[in-house]
Amino acid sequence: MIDVDENTEQTDEQAQEMLNQMWRNPCINDTYEPGSTFKIITASACLEEGVVSLSDTFSCPGYRIVEDRKIRCHKVGGHGQETFIQGIQNSCNPVFIDIGLRLGAEKFYAYFKQFGLLSLTNIDLPGEAGTIMHNVEDIGLVELATISFGQSFQVTPVQMATTVSSLVNGGYRVTPHFGVAVLEKDGTEIRKLKYKKKNGIVSEKTSETMRILLKSVVEEGSGKNGYIEGYSIGGKTATSQTLPRSANKYISSFIGFAPAEDPQVLGIVVIRNPQGGIYYGGTIAAPVLRSIYDNVLPYLGIEKN
């Protein structure tokens, strides 16, 4: 017979859990619903496929009816008539539902693969989580509609940063990494580390268009709080609800890159369950990245224009 002290065992388990959490990196190990930052990916796929143009017009009454579901826009009263450019500036869900339905599930899924979303980034750190996505055969019209504006699936922040980077840098996907070289104790370089790079993610034309669109989001749209005078910055905000929706808990985020015309640095801010009653990504996440860029851009020698 073995006598086990349940209190001691519970304490040991709690200690182990605290240790695990201490070493956990949520940017790599944890997934989240990206929300409207995923509209960068939807827009890129739809522009690349030619199912939308910048001059296309849409009507937003504040919702879309898809099959038996009423899917709401964040602006209850709707945005009214708007172009595709205004749709991305306003982060309008009905606009992205419309173009996602135009693209269709099979082509959307093919772009997920082309963009690298369904594979690991292969960052040189342990425990990277994969994207949690519907199987293509399970994507009905409602799932397609919600995927188009970044809900009903999950990705890691590092996956979002890597994918968006490839869509605005001219169309090449780099492997994110921390290791640069292997050195001897005296600093002598033994081996320079090399990482894979994949070209042809999107065309240069689509990439250039996305840079222009995302610059306008910061200068004229929902990302205004990420703007820094004298710098050209592109980006996209997001505010998504965690499950269960009835808990009214949110994730606020912002992805930004600079300079917008020739991106040199990209950052992502994800704030889980923000407190104080303010939870919009443009209100609380964008200013965080703005303050980081205030220091990073001069440090990198990127001068104000």
DSSP 213-240: HHHHHHHHSTTGGG--TT---EEEEEEE
Number of structural domains found in the chain: 1
Annotated catalytic residue, options 36, 44, 148, 152? 36
CB-neighbour burial class of residue 142 (10 A; exposed 0-12, middle 13-18, buried 19+): middle
**Which residues touch 61 (CB under 8 Å, ≥6 apart)?**
78, 94
Asked whether residue 13 is assigned to any structural domain, the reply reads no
Average pLDDT, the chain: 93
Asked whether residue 8 is assigned to any structural domain, the reply reads no
Asked whether residue 12 is assigned to any structural domain, the reply reads no
Asked whether residue 173 is assigned to any structural domain, the reply reads yes
| Residue 9 pLDDT greater than 60, yes or no | no
Half-sphere exposure of 160 (CA within 13 A, CB side): 34
Both tokens of 31, joined, read 């997934």
Residue-range definition of the domain harbouring residue 146: 26-299
Asked whether residue 102 is assigned to any structural domain, the reply reads yes
**34-48, 82-96, 183-197, 205-219 — which is least confidently predicted?**
183-197
Q: Are 222 and 90 in contact (CB under 8 A)?
A: yes
Task: Transcribe the chain into DSSP letters.
Answer: -----HHHHHHHHHHHHHHHHHT--HHHH--B--GGGGHHHHHHHHHHHTS--TT-EEEESSEEEETTEEEEPSSTT--EEEEHHHHHHTT-HHHHHHHHHHH-HHHHHHHHHHHTTTS----SSS-PPPPB---GGG--HHHHHHHHTT-SSBB-HHHHHHHHHHHHTTS-EEPP-S--EEE-TTS-EEEE----EE--SS-HHHHHHHHHHHHHHHHHSTTGGG--TT---EEEEEEEEPSSGGG--EEEEEEEEESSSS--EEEEEEEES--SS---IIIIIHHHHHHHHHHHHHHTT----
Q: Are 79 and 91 in contact (CB under 8 A)?
A: no
pLDDT band at 203 (very low <50, low <70, confident <90, very high): very high
Compute the CA torsion angle 128, 22, 37, 268 (nearest 10 deg).
Answer: -100
Q: The domain spanning residue 145 has which CATH number?
A: 3.40.710.10
pLDDT by residue (tens digit) across 139-176? Answer: 999 999 999 999 999 999 999 999 999 999 999 999 99
| Residue 3 pLDDT greater than 50, yes or no | no
| pLDDT value of position 80 | 97
Asked whether residue 115 is assigned to any structural domain, the reply reads yes
pLDDT by residue (tens digit) across 67-125? Answer: 999 999 999 999 999 999 999 999 999 999 999 999 999 999 999 999 999 999 999 99
Mean pLDDT, to the nearest integer, of 12-40? Answer: 87
Query: What is the number of other CB atoms lying within 10 angstroms of the CB of residue 114?
Result: 16
Mean pLDDT, to the nearest integer, of 206-215? Answer: 98
Percent of the chain with pLDDT over 90: 86
| pLDDT value of position 1 | 36
Give the residue from 239, 243, 234, 231 showing the smallest Cα distance to 301: 231
Give the residue from 267, 272, 284, 216 showing the smallest Cα distance to 247: 272
| Residue 11 pLDDT greater than 80, yes or no | no
Interior CA angle at 175 toward 171 and 176, to 5°?
110
pLDDT by residue (tens digit) across 212-261? Answer: 999 999 999 999 999 999 999 999 999 988 877 777 889 999 999 999 99
Catalytic residue check, 36: yes
pLDDT band at 10 (very low <50, low <70, confident <90, very high): low
Asked whether residue 218 is assigned to any structural domain, the reply reads yes
Asked whether residue 236 is assigned to any structural domain, the reply reads yes
Give the residue from 150, 147, 128 showing the smallest Cα distance to 139: 147
